Amino acid sequence: MLDERKLAVLRAIVEDYVSTNEPVGSKALAERHNLKVSPATVRNDMAALEEDGYITQPHTSAGRVPTDKGYRLFVDRLSQVKPLSGAERRAIETFLAGAVDLDDVVTRTVRLLAQLTRQVAVVQYPTLTRSTVRHVELVPLSDRRVMLVLITNTGRVEQRVVELPEVVEESRVAHLRAVLNACLDGCGLSTVPELVADLPERLAPEDRPTAATILSVLLETLVERHDEKIVFAGAANLAGADFSVGLRDVLEALEEQVVLMRLLGETSTDTPSALTVRIGSENPYLRGTSVVATGYGSGDNQLARLGVLGPTRMDYPVTMGAVRAVARYVSQILAAS
Amino acid sequence: MLDERKLAVLRAIVEDYVSTNEPVGSKALAERHNLKVSPATVRNDMAALEEDGYITQPHTSAGRVPTDKGYRLFVDRLSQVKPLSGAERRAIETFLAGAVDLDDVVTRTVRLLAQLTRQVAVVQYPTLTRSTVRHVELVPLSDRRVMLVLITNTGRVEQRVVELPEVVEESRVAHLRAVLNACLDGCGLSTVPELVADLPERLAPEDRPTAATILSVLLETLVERHDEKIVFAGAANLAGADFSVGLRDVLEALEEQVVLMRLLGETSTDTPSALTVRIGSENPYLRGTSVVATGYGSGDNQLARLGVLGPTRMDYPVTMGAVRAVARYVSQILAAS
DNA sequence: CTTGGCACTCGGGAACACAGAGTGCTAGAC
DNA sequence: GTCTAGCACTCTGTGTTCCCGAGTGCCAAG
């Protein structure tokens, strides 16, 4: 059904359309790509491709435009991920190397990715799941409030103010802190809930309500902040692009953490570093846009996801190359720190 | 030159134009606002106003549109800040009261302001200047790296990884931490530089290089992070609006901290809670947009700025009311915590 | 100073024609 | 059977023209 030449035609259509943003006709196609066949033959192939739903024409007597299905075939079988140039790689490396802490790594990454792809970049903060507790700090703010600070080995810091059920002296806070650190230091975050389960019982009765309050906030922090924080950059790149969905909807989605999270999608557990590409209507949350994403993180410490969002009409090979490269470099940086 | 009626005409033009987004003509004006004069008279006034540069006409034989100068006069002399409705106030209060930490306060504030004004909201993080040190923590990450965590009384947490010039044992880190806390606890952030100036000399010689490194990072943190962090929300509200400058430029400015900072402007030291309004070309950094901003923070603890950015054609009284109200509520919340 | 009247200007929409790109189809060539 | 050339057809987008109406500026009278 789809012989070699028809695939070549589809590839040519996608490439031309992506670069010119205009429906591509049979004549131009036969000329620009040396297909060694006449426009008429190309037209026949086009008719077949349209029959199968890979391309479509905006109106009778206009050129053809790839459908989502067409892009899908292109991405799966007709294109190769395009590696970055040496200059680009060096730029990435030096730019990311300058980061001073986790926040900075994430901020730099998302900006970098936006600039490289000229799309909107989205980066999820590394989750706490695989991290371990480096230190727990309790800082008295007033006699009924303490600040709980949780520092992990990945350099992440979580903070929460805890309202205490009763007035607590500083010495008792210090005691609790010591107990907490003795109990949790170096332990994986995922094991924290079980580790603290029986903690109140091991304390003096008068400390239990306070301890319980603090622990509940601690657990809340672990669960809620788990993998919620997501940042984006490069919204300015949306200005030129045209989506089938309104620009307003895209901007709204970007500011909605939950939607962003869904857009990035789940990391497949078996091949976490594989590139995920969702094209147009394949994406149930924001149609008319495409998302190229991947997991990142060091080795067995698969942490989070990053990617870019753009119009369906996107240069997939280049974008995929950039996303993959950035993910690798960030993973390296994180592994080193 | 500008008698009472001419001012009334200008006010009417601004109000009509803001609500309809269409150049307003003499006839419609004389009807809608009961000016008790004929269109011809209004025309004469309009001619005078145009002569003085308060209004202009897009083309011959079209209605008039306010100029930046016209909006300025309107804001300064012809309008009253419009207070929020009771329902809106209650909504603000409950929404802000749910915040769990400083990050959360800022995030909620910026979203709230964006929603209330239907513009882009911009909020600067409270600066550290007036804050005091609550606690300094040094957490060993490896034998040549420690994490420096600075906790302030406003609930802000700054963290930085410090690369040490030599291998340092944990006990020495603990010692340094104790010294640092003894020295800085409760002190104003602005006094930190002088307080630590002679600190290395008071330590054992072998501790001095390490201490110097850590202190330099600490000072860097204070200076660099001083008042740089700015967040925005409501970019989706830009979708409908039309700026004389391109949408792309606005989005780019929003992602550039430095530009945002300049847009918000300086807090005037004598009346920090005054509303600042910059209209169109008055704003050297991003022409074609208006900014309504104010300082916020509790009492003598004037901390930072917040505001909104929108098209020059903006409902100034309502926007000013919202900005002022939100600033007050946030100040309250911050004072209470 | 205000008002009614009047001639004038100009933008924007409707109607129209037209060139050009692109298509589908069919008949002939390889 | 597959490819090619030719041809008639169908659109969109663009340029032109025309006209309506909103709005103006000016003038003379109240």
Three-state helix/strand/coil letters over chain A: CCCHHHHHHHHHHHHHHHHHCCCECHHHHHHHCCCCCCHHHHHHHHHHHHHCCCEECCCCCCCEEECHHHHHHHHHHHCCCCCCCHHHHHHHHHHHHCCCCHHHHHHHHHHHHHHHHCCEEEEECCCCCCCEEEEEEEEEEECCEEEEEEEECCCCEEEEEEECCCCCCHHHHHHHHHHHHHHHCCCEHHHHHHHHHCCHHHCCHHHHHHHHHHHHHHHHHHHHCCCCCEEEECHHHHCCCCCCCCHHHHHHHHCCHHHHHHHHCCCCCCCCCCCEEECHHHCCCCCCEEEEEEEEEECCEEEEEEEEEEECCCCHHHHHHHHHHHHHHHHHHHHHC
**What is the gyration radius of the CA atoms in chain B, in angstroms?**
26
Tokens of B131: 């804050």
Residue-wise pLDDT for B86-95, tens only, equals 999 999 999 9
Note whether A65 and A57 are within 8 A (CB). yes
Note whether A158 and A134 are within 8 A (CB). no
Helices (H) and strands (E) in chain B, counts: 12, 10
Given pLDDT bands bounded at 50, 70 and 90, which one contains residue A229?
confident
Residue-wise pLDDT for A92-128, tens only, equals 999 998 887 788 889 999 999 999 999 999 999 886 5
pLDDT at B337: 63
Note whether B120 and B231 are within 8 A (CB). no
Chain B touched by A266 (CB under 8 Å): no
Chain B touched by A265 (CB under 8 Å): no
Nucleotides of strand D under 7 angstroms from a protein beta carbon: 3-6, 9-12, 21-27
Residue B255 to residue B249: CA distance in whole angstroms? 10
End-to-end CA distance of chain A: 53
Check whether A200 has a pLDDT greater than 90. Answer: no
Given pLDDT bands bounded at 50, 70 and 90, which one contains residue A169?
confident
Note whether B260 and B122 are within 8 A (CB). yes
Given pLDDT bands bounded at 50, 70 and 90, which one contains residue B64?
very high
Q: Which residues pair with B160 in a beta bridge?
A: B148
Residue A168 to residue A210: CA distance in whole angstroms? 8
A-B Cβ pairs (cutoff 8 Å, strict): 87
B window 35-64: Cβ near strand D (< 7 A): 39-40, 43, 46-47, 50, 57, 60-64
Judged by DSSP in three states, B81 sits in coil
DSSP one-letter code for B322: H
**Helix%, strand%, coil% for chain B, nearest 5:** 50, 20, 30
Chain-chain contact of A251 with B235 (C-beta, under 8 angstroms): yes
Residue-wise pLDDT for B269-301, tens only, equals 667 678 999 999 998 888 889 999 999 987 555
Of B101, B234, B246, the CB nearest to A239: B246
Given pLDDT bands bounded at 50, 70 and 90, which one contains residue A309?
very high
Q: Which residue has the higher pLDDT, B172 or B110?
A: B110
Given pLDDT bands bounded at 50, 70 and 90, which one contains residue A208?
confident
Chain B touched by A167 (CB under 8 Å): no
Residue-wise pLDDT for A240-295, tens only, equals 777 777 889 999 999 998 888 888 887 666 776 789 999 999 988 888 899 999 99
Overall average pLDDT of the B72-79 stretch:
94
Residue B77 to residue A280: CA distance in whole angstroms? 52
Other Cβ atoms less than 10 A from the Cβ of B170: the count is 11
The DSSP string of B232-300 is EE-GGGGTT---SS-HHHHHHHHT-HHHHHHHH-PPPSSSTTSPEEE-GGG-SSSTTEEEEEEEEEETT
Check whether B235 has a pLDDT greater than 90. Answer: yes
The phi, psi pair for B124, rounded to 5°, reads: -90, 140
Note whether B269 and B249 are within 8 A (CB). no
Residue B315 to residue A186: CA distance in whole angstroms? 56
Residue B152 to residue B130: CA distance in whole angstroms? 10
Overall average pLDDT of the B25-49 stretch:
89
Which of A248, A250, A256 should we substitute to test contact with B (largest number of B Cβ atoms within 10 Å)? A248
Q: Which residues pair with A295 in a beta bridge?
A: A305
CA distance A212 to chain B (A): 18
**What average pLDDT is seen over chain B?**
87
Residue-wise pLDDT for B171-223, tens only, equals 888 888 888 888 888 788 778 888 888 787 888 888 888 888 888 888 887 76
Contacts of B82 (CB under 8 A, 6+ apart): B317, B318, B320, B321
pLDDT at A162: 86
Share of chain B above pLDDT 70, in %: 93
Given pLDDT bands bounded at 50, 70 and 90, which one contains residue B128?
low
Given pLDDT bands bounded at 50, 70 and 90, which one contains residue B229?
confident
Nearest CA in chain A to B247: A239
Check whether A66 has a pLDDT greater than 90. Answer: yes
Judged by DSSP in three states, B188 sits in strand
Given pLDDT bands bounded at 50, 70 and 90, which one contains residue A301?
low
Please, what's the b/e burial string for B211-245 (b: 16 or more CB within 10 A of its CB; e: otherwise)? Answer: bebbbebbeebbeebebebbbbbbbbbbeebebee
Other Cβ atoms less than 10 A from the Cβ of B34: the count is 7
Chain A touched by B317 (CB under 8 Å): no
Judged by DSSP in three states, B25 sits in coil
Residue-wise pLDDT for A7-47, tens only, equals 999 999 999 999 999 999 998 888 888 778 888 999 999 99
CA angle (B155 as vertex; B149, B157 as ends), nearest 5: 25
Check whether A308 has a pLDDT greater than 90. Answer: yes
Instruction: Give the residue whose CA sits closest to D6 at C1'.
Output: A40
Q: Which residues pair with A161 in a beta bridge?
A: A147
Residue A290 to residue A316: CA distance in whole angstroms? 9
The phi, psi pair for B204, rounded to 5°, reads: -65, 145
pLDDT at A207: 83
Check whether A312 has a pLDDT greater than 90. Answer: yes
Shortest CA to C1' contact from A36: nucleotide: D3
**What average pLDDT is seen over chain A?**
86
Q: Which residues pair with A301 in a beta bridge?
A: A298
Shortest CA to C1' contact from A44: nucleotide: C24
pLDDT at B155: 67
Going by C-alpha positions, the residue among B232, B234, B320 that lies closest to residue B277 is B320
pLDDT at B285: 84
Given pLDDT bands bounded at 50, 70 and 90, which one contains residue B10?
very high
Check whether A54 has a pLDDT greater than 90. Answer: yes
Which range (A138-152, B230-244, B322-336) has the least confidence? A138-152
Chain B touched by A175 (CB under 8 Å): no
Chain A touched by B247 (CB under 8 Å): yes
* C-alpha distance from residue A43 to each of A37, A71, A74 (Å): 10, 19, 19
Note whether A122 and A307 are within 8 A (CB). yes
Return the biggest CA–CA distance within chain B: 90
pLDDT at B258: 87
**What is the gyration radius of the CA atoms in chain A, in angstroms?**
26
Given pLDDT bands bounded at 50, 70 and 90, which one contains residue B136?
confident
